[in-house]
Amino acid sequence: MKENNFWRNVNVLITGASGLLGSEMVSQLLNKGANVVTIVRDTVPKSRFFLENLNSKVTITRGDIEDYSFVERVMAEYEINTVFHLAAQPIVKIANSSPLGTFNANIKGTWNVLEAARNHMSTVKSVVVASSDKAYGTSPILPYDESVPLRGQHPYDVSKSCVDLLSQSYWYTYKLPVNITRCGNFYGPGDLNYNRIIPGTILSVINNERPIIRSDGSYIRNYFYIKDAADGYITISENRDSVLGEAFNLGSEERYSVLEITNLVLKVMGSKLAPVVRNEVSNEIKEQYLSIKKVKETLNWKPKYKTEDALLETVSWYKKYVC
């Protein structure tokens, strides 16, 4: 456990700050006293970042991580000490239909952030980069631990394998103080990507419509509450001196099929609606779930929330801000 003032007046840069994880990171780091600088490309009025007025409490820089000169200027001008690189194109379906946009955002955007940080290592002491469990690709070894090779095959998975390897290269070659996170499927307050199963199901129930399952419902995943995710990221950065260059799986030890998690959302919401199973998914990994043994043993971190409790909080947010 770090002292209460660890983050006080630390200059923290969060890319993708108006997204699902970014908004929660902003909230937690503001509560810890950090000076938060954000990179925001688009104004999305319904995002949690704006709905909860987080934008008024941080420095907002408007630009695109695909623009190196912009990223470098932000790093220099605000004398950044810690970077949480979260900005990405995060949707598998979009990656399959628009791979070039995904590669530019996820791969080029990452090397821009890493290179800008490398050029300001006099001030930058920690860079935490968001990879994904998708970086592992399809593997016969389950659950994935951090020793499993990165073998993405489909566009989104490949983009995250590249993000991961780029980050490792900046540690091994330049000793950039980087850490990598590989997480399961996020959910929680503020997720506006309604083609994801949890927010999509919540919205369907709010609208009294049957939720849609694009797959056959049997795909297995870790579903990871966003408050636990942000806490995990922060814990890694706080302990960076002892784990520089290392990657960590973060996630819940609970795992569900798509049909199981849909039915759990329906249960939490007290709904009798039956899901529509379309079985139209292709180019996605059938089973993915993580071992978090390393982060538990190395950093004494584990998730605090049970899935049902986290879903109750999540549903409450949507009822407050979406209904």
| Residues annotated catalytic, as ranges | 156
Task: Answer yes or no: are the C-beta atoms of 164 and 131 closer than 8 Å.
Answer: yes
In angstroms, what is the C-alpha Rg of the chain?
Answer: 19
Burial class, 212, CB count within 10 angstroms (exposed 0-12 / middle 13-18 / buried 19+):
middle
For the chain, what's the residue count? Answer: 323
Task: Answer yes or no: are the C-beta atoms of 142 and 289 closer than 8 Å.
Answer: yes
Task: Answer yes or no: are the C-beta atoms of 68 and 112 closer than 8 Å.
Answer: yes
Paired strand residues for 256: 221
Rounded alpha-carbon distances, angstroms, from residue 187 to 18, 89, 197, 210: 15, 16, 9, 20
SS3 171: helix
Distance CA 313, CA 167 (A): 34
Distance of CA 308 to the CA centre of its chain: 20
Please list the alpha-helical segments (H only) found in 175-275: 197-206, 226-238, 240-243, 258-268
What is the identity of the amino acid at 123?
A: T
Task: Answer yes or no: are the C-beta atoms of 59 and 53 closer than 8 Å.
Answer: no
Task: Answer yes or no: are the C-beta atoms of 100 and 156 closer than 8 Å.
Answer: no
What is the identity of the amino acid at 134?
A: K
Structure tokens at 110: 């990452």
